[in-house]
Structure formats: structure tokens, C-alpha cells
């Protein structure tokens, strides 16, 4: 399953398939990006991050891709599992401020058994 465009609030994906969650950012000065996962009733949990001097970073079952030309960030989840059902947020830190993390609106991922 894949979310497209600036923002798609929900994404439904079959268990075992790969998921792609997209995020567009507006600040060309942003140099650090993070993906968070928020399960129901819990706080956001760090998944993976990437700095602007990279275009790809891989973690365990997750890959983040950064396209600075079009200011686009994506999170790919391989072999999606029921435990991956959550709201996923992309967040950016503008280069001018080390502290201010700006969150996107979030995409709700639902994994179908």
C-alpha cells in the first residue's frame, strides 16, 4: 500500500505487503527529519531519522528516503505486520533552530489480516 500526494490521512495495507507512507515538507532549510509511530493511547515513538546530507537510510524493516529537490520524505515498511498499525508522523527540524520539531499531520496505517 502507498499514500500519495501531500498527505493521505489513512492507509490500508494487507499483512505481509510493503507500506509506503509519504510526507511533503515546506522548509528547504530543514536539515533533520524523523519518523515517529504513535500507537493508540501511547506517545509517539521514534522509528528512524535522516539528515539532509543523506538520501536514504535503512533500519530494521524500515527505510526512509529523502528527496530534497522536491522536498519529499517517505517511510517504507517491509512485510507489514499487524503491530505496525498506528499513526505515523514525519517531523522536521529547521536548520536555524536545534530544538523546534515540527510535525506533519500524520497518516493512520491499518493492517488487514
> Reduced to 3 states, what is the DSSP secondary structure of residue 10?
strand
- Closer by beta carbon to another protein, 8 or else 18: 8
| Contact (Cβ atoms closer than 8 angstroms) between residue 64 and residue 56 | yes
CB of 50 to another protein, least distance (A): 11
User: Which DSSP category does 6 fall into?
Assistant: S
Taken as a whole, the chain contains a residue count of 113
25 in Cβ contact with 70 (< 8 Å): no
The nearest distance, CB 16 to another protein, in angstroms, is: 26
Q: Least distance (Å) from another protein to the CB of residue 8?
A: 14
CA 90/CA 74 separation, integer angstroms: 9
Nearer residue to another protein within complex by CB, 51 or 79 = 51
Decide whether 34 or 77 has the Cβ nearer to another protein. 34
Kindly list the residues in this chain that would bind another protein in the complex (CB under 8 A): 32, 34, 36, 38, 41-46, 49, 87, 89, 93, 97-103, 105-106, 108
Amino acid at each position: 500500500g502507498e499514500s500519495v500526494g501531500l498527505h493521505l490521512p489513512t492507509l490500508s495495507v494487507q499483512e505481509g505487503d510493503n507500506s509506503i507512507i509519504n510526507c511533503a515538507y515546506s522548509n528547504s532549510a530543514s536539515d533533520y527529519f524523523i519518523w515517529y509511530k504513535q500507537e493508540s493511547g501511547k506517545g509517539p515513538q521514534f522509528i528512524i531519522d535522516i539528515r539532509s546530507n543523506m538520501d536514504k537510510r535503512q533500519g530494521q524493516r524500515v527505510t526512509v528516503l529523502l528527496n530534497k529537490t522536491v522536498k519529499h520524505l517517505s517511510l517504507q515498511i517491509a512485510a507489514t505486520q499487524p503491530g505496525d498499525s498506528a499513526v505515523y508522523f514525519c517531523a522536521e527540524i529547521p536548520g536555524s533552530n536545534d530544538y523546534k520539531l515540527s510535525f506533519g499531520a500524520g497518516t493512520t496505517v491499518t493492517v488487514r489480516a
